Amino acid sequence: MSDRRAQAAATLARLGLDADALAAGTAAAPDVAARLAGTDGRTIAAALADLVTPAVARLLVELEPAVTNRAVRKEIRRTLYRLRQRGVAVPEPTPPPVAPSSAPAGDVEGFVSAFDARGDRVVWIVRAQPTGGALLVAATMNEPAGLRDVHAGEASRKQIRAVRQRMEAEAAIRMVAADWRVLDALLVEAHERAGGGGAERDWLRLRPRLTTDPPRPPAEPVSRRAVAPTPEEAPALVAGSAALVAEPELRGWYPTPEASSPFVDEIRTVRESPIVLSRMAQEERVREVLRRAAATLFPPVVLARRLDGTAYVFAETGRAAAARQALAVASAIRARPAEALEVPLVATLVERAVGTLLAETTAREEEARRDSLVVTPGEALRDRASSRPGRTRG
């Protein structure tokens, strides 16, 4: 038993819950629900993150809609997010019964962009005003950091169209229509992840201007224009997934040089080491560095979520094949996060991030070396070895 799990088990035992029963799925749900509703609800929800089993995820998904304490619900969602990051399959919640909306669907529209290199995307919700014009709520969300900013203001339909056209022409940000209730749920989730942070990041302050209905469970929008691939189709789609980097939305998916440079330095150290390694051993060490680069620069859970959202934009802009390919990759890396580097799209993203910077760094150093009389220790050792006379037999 790990230290973290042991600590979680001790905490749960102190609060009257059996960690083994919870992990195995044999704990009584009403008993757990009652304790989550008590004063120790947040502590229990946080401790459950260290019982890394599907049974815990199913139980929390089942109980979360009935929890009325906002802080406990937020902790439950944080725990579910942590379980996903650790490779636990978290089931989708059962959709709640559809109740009459306080905002007629025809009076409200939603728009969303694809993710950019930082994981940001733009969300608009537009509500027609009785006096003419519209209320425009514009937000920027990040996956996984949450809500970056949100603002609301009055605008005419003509002004909104003009802004959309300018964003696409000048910044290559294409806004596509989406169910505003789905976007509202994503905004609530993003607000909770960001933990507030002032009026410019307070979606719950603005939300009553649109609706007072309870939000839906957060989930990426799903397009009817692209059917999710079947298990039989998925392997071929994943195998050809490197082609996705040609799509405009993915061309800029480069991490910052600051994020990539530690892995570049590691690879250079392996290649320049004075210790003689076989080519196979050297390649395996480089491969290990790239595995860690993939997990750090493109975390599987985060990348899968970004691909799901981007697949929706692909589908809604007439690229159903690319959408299905993105969905297949998201499913593959979500199912086998430890093997993400084996997915061609992930390998290509890592190669662009690390390989490009490595080539640029090497070229700069070679140029500097040509202009310098300084010899590095690695070069000196190699030169000494190459100039050493061979042994002759007497």
Sign of CA dihedral 359, 360, 365, 368: positive
Q: Which pTM was predicted?
A: 0.66
Instruction: Please check whether residue 216 lies inside any domain of the structure.
Output: no
Q: How many helices (H) and strands (E) does the chain have?
A: 18, 5
Pair (249, 316) in one structural domain: yes
Is 67 a member of any domain?
Answer: yes
Q: Which of 173, 166, 175 is nearest to 125 (CA)?
A: 175
Q: What b/e string do you get for 216-255 counting C-beta neighbours within 10 Å, with b at 16 or more?
A: bbbebbbbeebeebeeeebeebbeebeebeebebbeebeb
- Residues 6 or more apart whose Cβ sits within 8 Å of residue 329: 237, 238, 241, 244, 304, 307, 343, 345, 346
Residue 392: inside a domain: no
Q: Which residues, in sequence order, are bridge partners of residue 177?
A: 111
Each of the 394 residues of the chain gets a pLDDT tens digit; together they read: 578 888 988 898 898 889 888 888 888 877 788 888 888 889 999 999 998 899 998 988 888 877 778 888 889 999 999 999 989 888 877 655 444 445 454 589 999 999 998 999 999 999 988 877 899 999 999 999 999 999 998 888 889 889 989 998 888 889 999 999 999 999 999 999 987 666 677 899 889 988 889 999 999 999 999 888 998 999 999 999 999 999 999 988 988 888 888 988 888 887 776 665 677 777 888 889 899 999 999 999 999 999 999 999 999 999 999 999 999 999 999 999 999 999 999 999 998 888 777 766 666 655 655 555 444 444 544 554 455 555 444 4
Residue 131 has a pLDDT of 76
Q: Pick from 50, 85, 120: which residue ends a domain?
A: 85
Q: 262 and 356 in one domain?
A: yes
Q: How would you list the strands of the sheet with 108-112, edge to edge?
A: 146-155, 134-142, 120-128, 108-112, 176-178
121 membership: H or E segment, kind and range = strand 120-128
Q: Please state, in angstroms and rounded to a whole number, the distance separating the CA atoms of residues 80 and 75.
A: 9
* Residue that terminates a domain, selected from 153, 174, 209: 209
Task: Identify whether residues 170 and 79 lie together within a single domain.
Answer: no
Q: What per-residue confidence (pLDDT) applies to 281?
A: 79
Same domain, 117 and 70: no
Instruction: Report if residue 65 sits inside a domain.
Output: yes
Instruction: Classify 60 as helix, strand or coil.
Output: helix
Task: State how far the Cα of 361 lies from the Cα of 312, in Å rounded to an integer.
Answer: 37
Q: Angle, to 10 degrees, between the axis of helix 300-316 and the axis of helix 320-335? A: 160
Do 313 and 192 fall into the same domain?
no
Question: b/e for 260-272, b at 16 or more Cβ within 10 A?
Answer: beebbebbeebee
Tokens of 338: 């430890």
Quote the pLDDT of residue 383.
53
Are both 37 and 127 inside the same structural domain?
no
Q: DSSP for 126-163?
A: EEE-TTSSEEEEEEEEETTTEEEEEEEEEE-HHHHHHH
Question: Do 314 and 320 contact (CB within 8 A), yes or no?
Answer: yes
Q: How far apart are CA 329 and CA 340, in angstroms?
A: 9
- Report the domain count for the chain: 3
Does one domain contain both 376 and 272? yes
Residue 356 tokens read as 């490009």
142 and 197 share a domain? yes
Say yes or no: 51 and 128 in one domain: no
Domain span at residue 16 reads 3-85
Length of the chain: 394
Per the domain annotation, does 225 fall within a domain? no
Statement to judge: residues 238 and 313 lie in one domain = yes
